[in-house]
Amino acid sequence: MNRIELKVNGKTVSGEVEGRTLLVDFLRQTLRLTGTHVGCDTSQCGACTIHMNGMPVKSCSVLAAEADGAEVTTIEGMANADGSLNTMQQAFQDFHGLQCGFCTPGMVMAATALLRENPKPSEGEIRHYLEGNICRCTGYHNIVKAIQAASGQDVTPVAAE
């Protein structure tokens, strides 16, 4: 067992982990931060996407031990200080960018990282960036619109196309 200490959503946390424990399992099982989801076992679906030291990573592909000393942000740490949805989260609601909600935390984390790298992405750039995040419900149409809207670009309102 290894003792790790890291900062998650601004709070310092620690725990004992096996060498094989994945970061996503540490988040979900030890910290009970169940907003981060597991949708596959081949690092393909992106439901477990979080930010580690400011970068989007699939937390199923990081050992918990590797996160020792890291700064991690999960979906639970994304809302505004008053608890309201932040710009990206609000855009997902406004543009119906989610249905079952299972891929959604990973999508929001990936989309947030995209806008940090590219503040005004085109439709094609958004679609390319989301290659590693699978959604089975929305056909991506409204996810693309939500991200464009969150980046301040003009988007046709919902149900008006």
Partner 1 sequence: MPKDGGIGASTKRREDVRFLSGTGQYTDDINLHGQAHAYFLRSDVAHGTINGIDTEAAEAMPGVLKVFTAKDFEGVGGVPCGWQVTDRFGEVMQEPKHPVLAEGRVRHVGDPIAVVVAETLAQARDAAEAIVPDISDLPAVVDLKAALEDGAQKVHEELKSNLCYDWGFVEDNRDAVDEAIRNAHHVTTLELRNNRLIANPMEPRVAVGDYNRANDEHTLYTTSQNPHVIRLLMGAFVLGIPEHKLRVVAPDVGGGFGAKIYHYAEEAFCTFAAKALGRPVKWTSSRSEAFMSDAHGRDHVTKIELALDKDNNFTALRTETYANMGAYLSTFAPSIPTWLHGTLMAGNYKTPLIYVNVKAVFTNTVPVDAYRGAGRPEATYQLERVVDQAARELGVSPIELRRQNFITEFPYATPVAVEYDTGDYHATMDKLLEMTDHAGFEARAAESKKNGKLRGFGLAHYIEACGIAPSNLVGQLGARAGLYESATVRVNATGSISVMTGSHSHGQGHETTFAQVISEMIGIDANQVDIIHGDTGRGPMGMGTYGSRSIAVGGSAMVRAAEKVINKAKKIAAHLMEASEGDIELKDGKFSVAGTDKEVAWGDVTLAAYVPHNYPLEDIEPGLEETAFYDPANFTYPSGAYGCEVEVDPETGKVEIVGFAAADDFGNVINPMIVEGQVHGGLAQGIGQALMENCAYDADGQLISASYMDYAMPRSSDLPMFKVDHSCVTPCTHNPLGVKGCGEAGAIGSPPAVVNAVLDALNRGGHKVAHIDMPTSPARVWAAMNKTPMAAE
Looking at residue 140, its amino acid is Y
Positions 16 through 35 that interact with partner 1 (CB under 8 A): 18, 20, 28-29, 32-35
Q: How far is the CB of 13 from partner 1 (least distance, A)?
A: 16
Strand ranges of the sheet holding 2-8, from the earlier edge strand across to the other edge: 11-17, 2-8, 71-73, 49-52, 55-58
Q: How far is the CB of 52 from partner 1 (least distance, A)?
A: 16
How far is the first Cα of the chain from the last one, in angstroms, to the nearest whole number?
56
Q: CB under 8 A: which stretch of 51-59, 62-70, 118-126 binds partner 1?
A: 118-126
Residue 100 interacting with partner 1 (CB under 8 A): yes
Taking each helix axis from N to C end, the angle separating 87-94 and 104-117, rounded to the nearest 10 degrees, works out to 120
Positions 32 through 91 that interact with partner 1 (CB under 8 A): 32-42, 44-45, 47, 74-76, 78-79, 85, 89
Say how many CA atoms lie within 13 Å of 32 toward its Cβ: 0
The residue ranges that bind partner 1 (CB under 8 A) are: 18, 20, 28-29, 32-42, 44-45, 47, 74-76, 78-79, 85, 89, 92-94, 96, 98-105, 108, 123-124, 126-128, 130-131, 133-144, 158-159, 161
